[in-house]
Structure 1
Amino acid sequence: MTAKHAPKPLRVVLTDLNAEVVAAWRTAFAGTPGVEIRTGSILDVDADAWVSPTNSRGRMDGGLDAVVRRHLGAGIQLRVQRAIRDGHGGELEVGSAVCVPSGAAVPRFLISTPTMRASAQDVSQTLNVALACAAAFQAVHRQNAATPGSIASVALVGLGAQTGQVPAQVCANLMWTGHSLFQDHEFTDDDELRRTVTDQLTDLLAAPADRPVRLAVPARTGRTARR
Structure 2
Amino acid sequence: MPENPVRTPLDVVLTDINPDVVHAWRAAFAGTPGIAIRQGSILDEQVDAWVSPTNSRGRMDGGVDAAIKRHLGAGIQLRVQRAIRDRFAGSLPVGSAVCVPSGAANPRFLISTPTMEASSQNVSETLNVALACAAAFQAVHQQNRSAPGSIASVALVGMGARTGRVPARVCANLMWTGHTLFQDHRFEDYDDLRSTVTAQLDDMESAPADRPVRITPPGRAARRSHRS
TM-score, reference length from structure 2: 0.94
- 1:198 Cα deviation (Å)? 1.0
Alignment of 1:37-52 (within 5 A): 37-52=37-52
Deviations 1:144-197 (A, max 9, x none): 000000000000000000000000000000000000111011111111111111
Give the Cα–Cα distance (whole angstroms) in 2 for the partners of residues 137 and 99 of structure 1: 10
Does structure 1 residue 156 correspond to structure 2 residue 142? no
Match of 2:209 in 1: 209
Q: How does 1:68-217 map to 2 (within 5 A)?
A: 68-217=68-217
Is this contact kept in 2: 1:123–1:160, CA < 8 A? yes
d(CA) in 2 for partners of 1:78, 1:194 = 26
Unaligned runs of 5+ in 2: 1-5
Instruction: Tell me the secondary structure at the aligned position of residue 155 of structure 2.
Output: strand
Uncovered stretches (5+) of structure 1, i.e. residues with no partner: 1-5
- Give the drift of 1:225: 5.4
Query: What is the CA deviation profile of residues 37-78 of structure 1, one whole-angstrom value per residue up to 9, with x for unaligned ones?
Result: 000000000010000000100011111100000000011001
What is the aligned length? 222
The corresponding residue for 1:21 is 21
| CA displacement, residues 117-167 of structure 1 (integer Å, 9 cap, x when unaligned) | 111100000010000000000000000000000000000000000000000
When structure 1 is superposed on structure 2, of 142-151 and 197-206 the one drifting more is 197-206
CA contact (8 A) 1:97 1:113 kept: yes
Q: Is the 8 A contact 1:217 1:224 kept in 2?
A: no
- The CA deviation at 1:7 is 5.2
CA deviations 1:76-125 (Å, max 9, x no partner) are: 00100000000000000000000000000000000000000111100000
Runs of 4 or more above 4 Å deviation: 220-226
The CA distance in 2 between the partners of 1:131 and 1:59, in whole Å, is 19
TM-score of the pair, normalised by structure 1: 0.94
Aligned counterparts of 1:219 and 1:145: Cα–Cα separation in 2: 23
Letter in 1 for 2:105: A
State the 1:209 CA deviation.
3.0
Would the aligned equivalents of 1:217 and 1:223 in 2 still touch at CA under 8 Å? Answer: no
Mapped partners of 1:118, 1:149: distance in 2: 33
- Alpha-carbon distance in structure 2 between the residues aligned to 1:100 and 1:223: 38
- Name the residue aligned to 2:3: none
Q: SS where residue 51 of structure 2 aligns?
A: strand
Distance in structure 2 (CA, Å) of the matches to 1:162 and 1:118: 14
Question: Identity percentage over the alignment?
Answer: 74
Q: Is the Cα contact below 8 Å between 2:213 and 2:225 reproduced in 1?
A: no
Per the alignment, residue 66 of structure 1 pairs with: 66
Residue identity matched to 2:166: V
Specify the SS of the correspondent of 2:112: strand
Verify the 8 A CA contact 1:15 1:40 in the aligned structure 2.
yes
Question: For residue 158 of structure 1, what is the amino acid of its counterpart?
Answer: G
Deviation, structure 1 residue 210: 3.0
